[in-house]
Amino acid sequence: MRAPIRLLLGLCAGIALSLAACERRAPPEQTAAAPVAIGGPFHLVDQTGHPFTHRDLLGKPTAIFFGFTFCPEVCPTTLADMTRWLAALGPDGNRVNVVFVSIDPTRDTPAVLKQYLGNFDPRIRGLTGTEAEIATTAREYRIFYRKVPLPGGGYTMDHTAGVFLFDRTGKFAGVISYGGDPNRGVAPLRHLLNP
Amino acid sequence: MKRTVLPLLAGLLVAGAAMAAIAHDYTVGSIRIGHPWSRPTPAGAVAGGGFLTLTNTGKVPDRLLSGTTPAADRLEIHEMSVTDGIMRMRALPEGLAIAPGQTVKLAPGGYHIMLIGLKKPLALGDHVPARLKFEKAGEVEVSFIVGNPPAEATGAGTPAGMGPH
């Protein structure tokens, strides 16, 4: 039960000075007996423009990653990794949700997501929404993100880079960190499929 | 040491796995530039990364200041890091210093060149021309080969587990 707390502390450690994400997210009654929940209600749209909510994830294990299409490295690498995991799972890949949530909804419209995700496994669901809807979703999932202006114009985004796992009931099941063995997500997903 | 480097964009690039990266180098003044390369970019991506090594064979410090490319609106020098699970990317407006005798690697997971506002996706086998400007050594035309990372160019931040396959 402590893993989620450790995770949150880990996430917060890196951004303690930013005051951006952690303080307002920690429930005041937080104790060892009441772990911080990761994941929660959200109302977004997918890359085809259809509404998609947290309820659509229930019944299957979920791997969810927050990123943005402007991202040159972490995001395409993670999406390629997730594509590889789905291929390795074979038919079982149809029994998991693999989700990419944009933390840059200004640029990542459903149409942009659709084109971008066309490069990866078609089962990967891309989600976006309004700035407020994305902020709510990120808060529920304990995702840190921040817009950073570039000196030459435009901006990039800092963001939590791991893939978050959930079981079929929506209970948080761990994080797959960025980098390392490109196949590192296959075993955890198999485990969630066959608990 | 024979290694097959797995394509990072596996699944996208199965066809590219067989394409060996051909090392190519440039020299300008006291700066040696080793094997500029880029990854293919997904359709719709507006930014791409450029990687290379910079070696200062001279006696005085130099600095990669800036660059241009016809392939994108802008070329910038950036540093990327993943710390405590947070990915951060920062432009280096002062450029990148290269001390005498030092080799600086621009590689996935660390320093890199950002091509911002790609005119079209970077495709496997493309040669992307760029002009790099150094404080002391001056300017040089290079070509980023779009392909898979050369084994010797993988930096500290390159995902592990990319071993023989």
Mean per-residue pLDDT for A176-182?
A: 90
Residue A189 inside a domain? The answer is: yes
**B17 contacts in chain A (CB < 8 Å):** none
Q: What is the pLDDT of residue B103?
A: 97
* Per-domain residue ranges of chain B: 27-150
Range of the domain at A48: 40-193
Decide if B10 and A159 are in contact by the 8 Å CB cutoff.
Answer: no
Q: What is the pLDDT of residue A45?
A: 98
**A178 contacts in chain B (CB < 8 Å):** 82, 85, 87
Q: Which of B84, B92, B144 should one mutate to test binding to chain A, selecting the residue with the greatest count of A CBs within 10 A?
A: B84
Mean per-residue pLDDT for B143-151?
A: 82
Interfacial A residues in 149-188 facing B (CB < 8 Å): 150-154, 156, 158-162, 175, 177-184
Using 50, 70 and 90 to split pLDDT, how confident is the model at A23? very low
Q: What is the pLDDT of residue B67?
A: 97
ipTM of the prediction: 0.75
Structural domains counted in chain A: 1
Residue A24 inside a domain? The answer is: no
Residue A13 inside a domain? The answer is: no
pLDDT at residue A40 greater than cutoff 90: yes
Q: What is the pLDDT of residue A162?
A: 94
CATH of B27-150, one of 2.60.40.1890, 1.10.10.10, 3.40.1000.10, 2.120.10.30: 2.60.40.1890
Q: Which of A15, A115, A182 sits opposite B86 (nearest CB)?
A: A15
Residue A17 inside a domain? The answer is: no
- CATH value at residue A151: 3.40.30.10
pLDDT at residue B105 greater than cutoff 80: yes
Q: What is the pLDDT of residues B54-64, one digit of tens each?
A: 999 999 999 99
Using 50, 70 and 90 to split pLDDT, how confident is the model at A153? confident
DSSP A108-173: --HHHHHHHHTTS-TTEEEEE--HHHHHHHHHHTT--EEEEE-TTSSEEEEEE-SEEEE-TTS-EE
Residue A95 inside a domain? The answer is: yes
Q: What is the pLDDT of residues A53-97, one digit of tens each?
A: 999 999 999 999 999 998 878 898 899 999 999 999 999 999 999
pLDDT at residue B126 greater than cutoff 50: yes
Residue A8 inside a domain? The answer is: no
Residue A166 inside a domain? The answer is: yes
Q: What is the pLDDT of residues B22-49, one digit of tens each?
A: 679 999 999 999 999 999 898 888 899 9
Residue A141 inside a domain? The answer is: yes
Q: What is the pLDDT of residue A35?
A: 63
Q: What is the pLDDT of residue B59?
A: 97
